[in-house]
Structure 1
Amino acid sequence: MFRARAEGTHRPPVRGDSGLMTEKADIRGSYWIDTAPGETYPPLDTDVTVDVAVVGAGIAGLSTAWELARAGRGVAVLEADRVAAGVTGHTTAKLSAQHTLIYDRLRRTRGPEAAHLYARSQTEAIEHAAALVDELGIDCDWERRSAFTYIRDERRAAEFRAEAEAARGAGLDAEFVTETGLPYSVAGAVRVAHQAQFHPRKYLLALAEDLRARGALIHERTRVVGLETGDACRLTAETGARVTAGAVVIATHYPVFDRALLFTRLSPRRELVVAAPLAADRDPDGMYITPEEDTRSVRTAPYEDGRRLLIVTGEHFTPGTGDTDKRFARLTDWAEEHFPDITPTYRWATQDNDSTDTVPLVGPLPPMSRHAYVATGFGGWGLSGGIMAGRLLAGLIVGDRPPWAELYDPRRLRSVLREAPAFLRHQAKVARHFVGDRIPPSHADSLADIAPGTGAVVRHGGQRCAVYRDEDGRLHSVSARCTHMGCLVAFNAAERAWECPCHGSRFDTDGRVVQGPATHALEQRDVHEEEPLED
């Protein structure tokens, strides 16, 4: 039996993504990380040779590694932070093939067969996870639930009826309904039965334990900064240690190596999560999402003393834009309005990447497609998508190509023209940051304007500097240019992080990389309290 340790009663310091402190000391960070601390794995400190190297230990990376290890391949997993502590450790943890309004769009843009293959690949991923839970005896709060995409605006009911019809035509057990378990009325909903929810970190920690038992290597705190391809692939870690492999899988959520320029087809977004204990008799008994109100998602999980934990997600926004504290307040107000008398005890944030044609990019990584593979662009549905990706990539590597490989292939060309409007919108937004960020004056008139616990981008010595003042009044100064492609970062006060609005890289207050695609820290800058700033 492989069981992750659960310690739901302790109260460690509140932390956001990858160890960033959150604002409120009385509210904990990610529930999944809080209740499953897990084992630690050593950093890579020596050169190794394996059949396949997997970069990233989220659900896509670990699922791929596990499938390959089961197939008899020698595998090394390299994770920049901790296993399942990044995006997967901050998800809402729904395992569903019902991905908001995907099937009617697929039916119209890529045909009924594409919609069918999408539904089949996602459904098989869910059932594959269910089989692994049984096979490995994983205690991960596995529950079967119906998934609902709902609308409250009567004017959009026809759109949701069309989605229900398309989902049913694709092979899902889908129907249009007007009654749900939510404590408020809806104009209509697409209901898909027999989906699932679980504790993703407990599931993945168990998978990691089984991987190690199968002889795989797992290395945490091992940031990969170099990739060479040829007859063999060579990865170089920040420490200088190298991994030689016959094939490499880049499963870092946003690709840290992107010679195919996939970043032009990916748009990063952040969403916030608040969670609160709820009496069991108030459980809405389902997994819910609506595109209205800047997205609202609702589900529950098993909690202490027979209660449920209400998990509410929303406030979709581009990293580095807007006031995150205000967004948290709006989301909390919404949760308390619709579920009265709750007291939030957790809050965290997650980050996703949307592909321009709404379908993930999973498969060979061009132009290095002979030995390099990628999994990205899951658009908020990375759990079923990550399990699907693991099966797809392992199949490609061992020579067992699944029937839906073409649907997800990053080299696909058929949808390029259909992607054009979304592609142009994304590029226009990035261009505004490349050009517009160089024009505005300093975000602070003087260093004295930067209060403890806050940060600002200022001009000093002819350069843009990102300056943070800690609670003790000390200044922490780094370059404001993201090391990925040079956009200006912005400060997220709620999570105490510098964020790049172009491609979603995130850095801590000392400039260290928290989340890629950047692989190098922000350069240190020498800014002193008494020095004047430039206009």
Structure 2
Amino acid sequence: MTNRGYVGGRLPEFPESFWTDSTVLPKFPRLDNDIHVDAVIVGGGITGITSAYLLANKGLKVAIVEADKLLNGTTGHTTAKVTAQHDLIYDELITNMGISRARLYYEANMEALNFIKKTIDQHQIDCDFSTQDAYMFATTEEYEQKIQKESKAYEKLNIDGELVDTIPLDIKVKNALIMKNQAQFHPIKYLKHLVQNITEKGGLIFENTIAVNVEKGTRPTVLTRDAGRVTADYVLACSHFPFYEGLGLYSTRMYADRSYVLAAKPKSKFPGGIFISADKPTRSLRSVTINGEEMVLIAGESHKTGQGIDTIKHYEALEDFGQQIFRLETIPYRWSAQDLTTLDKVPYIGAITSGQPNILIATGYRKWGMSNGTAAALLLCDTVLGEKNKFQKLYTPSRFYVNPSLKNFLVENANVVSHLIKGKIEMTNLNPSMLPNDEGAIISIKGERKGAYRDTEGRLHIVDTTCTHIGCEVEWNSGERTWDCPCHGSRFSYTGDVIEGPAEKPLQKYDYKMIDNLTSEDSGY
């Protein structure tokens, strides 16, 4: 594990998740030939791995295709709460979908929690699993009233909850709503064991293999960027944002949010429980054990990808909050995560379109991927096996509720158009010579908008800022040193490589030595 010891006010220089840094995962080869399996699963996060585990244990031959490394995406950067308390959601679901479907949403997530617990008990997995009560609290009168409404929704849905006026933290609250017997764990330790089980059952896993398209048919084929093809009875797109949209137009039906996490050692003892504020900006808390010491995860500061303030300020805001509550001693880790939200806040899980029943997707978990992602795997498995599942209609991707879906569809796509236009007309007077080491910015070269980052050794990296998805202009993310698209959430490294979709192709790169108007100051680098 990396040796760290950052004191309050000194955030770690580079973002890295504790989950991924503390667990060594096996490595798997790139796919370089054509294969045939019963089910091919694109995406190596909690949904893909759990789906492969379930299907392999039913005797199916499965293959996982992962564009990067297993568990290096949203699953590896979660807060790892396993809960059905998903912010203020149940009163809204009752209003928009009715009591029966709101209850189904709760049941699906509780079944997922119980599946995780049962799997851990069955295999004796050491993954720091613990049962915790979940608290959602309000600090303002506006959100006090919303929590009261949510409490009434709990009563209508027969959810095991309790409305209280205090919480066991040094935070003055108006009220709080408890959901009993929820959980937390170390997600990578848990899923590492499932990966081992998959390979023992004959499952195939390929890393650094980018899936780009599907050839439809009775046995569809997943096409990869480099060479190999995977033909199967079923294709499961579990790649956070679906790598294949078909006619589902999912990029117009979801938006991407980023949020931030600190792992910090508090001077004050953490009381137990998992916490989230109803008020915005969100503040989320849970305990975690790092090198034998109890620490706290402080999360929140959500904003649409590519549309926030200087991202390092989000980390600083979380640190300020942590100092007020716990008096932080050290901050060994910081990281961020990206999540997708659907038009009605319920994930899309099932057949990508009614005409393609053997191509399945799972996406749009709205920051609650541990339970929603597991619920998705359980539903996808039943679909592949031809078994009935009572949650199918709730999650079907083809659903469309006029309220709120129509309103949100218009709002989100108007937002895309505004950023598309804004990015094209915005100009800058910065040129490469103005960039100090370890800073990036939008620059102007011969009147054209480019993106530039000068690394810690003074080397300049220049890319075209036009996102390769639909042509929006990316923005610099200083906290992660990435280029982020404000339209649909695509993210690229400072060298232009794709980190997150829906974009599939990298940003165009430029050799700075070939650009005429670089100053002599730059010519030596």
The TM-score by the shorter chain falls in which range?
Answer: over 0.9
**Unmatched 5+ stretches in structure 2:** 519-525
1:71 paired with 2:63, answer: no
In structure 2, give the amino acid aligned to 1:121.
A
TM-score, normalization by structure 2: 0.93
Match of 1:358 among 340, 345, 356: 345
**Aligned ranges for residues 34-433 of structure 1 at < 5 Å?**
34-259=21-246, 260-278=248-266, 282-305=269-292, 307-321=293-307, 322-366=309-353, 369-413=356-400, 415-433=401-419
Separation (CA, whole Å) in 2 of partners of 1:355 and 1:462? 38
Separation (CA, whole Å) in 2 of partners of 1:230 and 1:320? 37
**Aligned ranges for residues 492-507 of structure 1 at < 5 Å?**
492-507=477-492
Separation (CA, whole Å) in 1 of partners of 2:240 and 2:13? 30
**Structure 1, 320-329 or 156-165: larger mean CA deviation:** 156-165
Match of 2:497 among 512, 517, 526: 512
Separation (CA, whole Å) in 1 of partners of 2:419 and 2:152? 40
**Unmatched 5+ stretches in structure 1:** 1-8, 15-22
Identical residues among aligned pairs (%): 35
Closer, same or farther in 2 for the Cα pair 1:153/1:276, shift >3 Å? same
- Could you tell me whether the CA contact under 8 Å between 2:138 and 2:175 is conserved in 1? yes
Closer, same or farther in 2 for the Cα pair 1:68/1:461, shift >3 Å? farther
Separation (CA, whole Å) in 2 of partners of 1:27 and 1:475? 19
Counterpart of 2:288 in 1: which secondary structure?
Answer: strand
1:447 paired with 2:427, answer: no
> Offset of 1:335 from its aligned partner?
1.0
- Could you tell me whether the CA contact under 8 Å between 1:78 and 1:218 is conserved in 2? yes
Name 1:466's counterpart in structure 2.
451
Closer, same or farther in 2 for the Cα pair 1:368/1:217, shift >3 Å? farther
- Could you tell me whether the CA contact under 8 Å between 2:65 and 2:210 is conserved in 1? yes
Separation (CA, whole Å) in 1 of partners of 2:36 and 2:444? 46
Counterpart of 1:407 in 2: which secondary structure?
Answer: helix
Deviation per residue, 1:233-276 (Å, 9 max, x gap): 11122221111111101111111211210111101000011111
Name 1:18's counterpart in structure 2.
none
In structure 1, give the amino acid aligned to 2:265.
P
Separation (CA, whole Å) in 2 of partners of 1:219 and 1:29? 23
Closer, same or farther in 2 for the Cα pair 1:530/1:114, shift >3 Å? closer
In structure 1, give the amino acid aligned to 2:255.
S
Name 1:4's counterpart in structure 2.
none
Counterpart of 1:501 in 2: which secondary structure?
Answer: coil
**Structure 1, 115-124 or 362-371: larger mean CA deviation:** 362-371
Deviation per residue, 1:505-526 (Å, 9 max, x gap): 1111111111111121112224
> Offset of 1:461 from its aligned partner?
5.5
Separation (CA, whole Å) in 1 of partners of 2:286 and 2:447? 50
- Two-structure CA RMSD over aligned residues (Å): 2.0
Separation (CA, whole Å) in 1 of partners of 2:87 and 2:152? 14
> Offset of 1:175 from its aligned partner?
1.5
**Structure 1, 523-532 or 111-120: larger mean CA deviation:** 523-532
Counterpart of 1:196 in 2: which secondary structure?
Answer: strand
Separation (CA, whole Å) in 1 of partners of 2:416 and 2:434? 29
- Could you tell me whether the CA contact under 8 Å between 1:32 and 1:200 is conserved in 2? yes
- Could you tell me whether the CA contact under 8 Å between 2:213 and 2:243 is conserved in 1? no
> Offset of 1:26 from its aligned partner?
6.3
> Offset of 1:171 from its aligned partner?
3.2
Counterpart of 2:425 in 1: which secondary structure?
Answer: coil
> Offset of 1:295 from its aligned partner?
0.7
Closer, same or farther in 2 for the Cα pair 1:156/1:320, shift >3 Å? closer
**Structure 1, 353-362 or 339-348: larger mean CA deviation:** 339-348
Closer, same or farther in 2 for the Cα pair 1:65/1:457, shift >3 Å? same
> Offset of 1:10 from its aligned partner?
4.2
In structure 1, give the amino acid aligned to 2:435.
I
In structure 1, give the amino acid aligned to 2:430.
D
Q: How many residues align?
A: 513
Match of 2:468 among 454, 475, 483: 483
- Could you tell me whether the CA contact under 8 Å between 1:283 and 1:300 is conserved in 2? yes
Separation (CA, whole Å) in 1 of partners of 2:333 and 2:138? 27
Name 2:523's counterpart in structure 1.
none
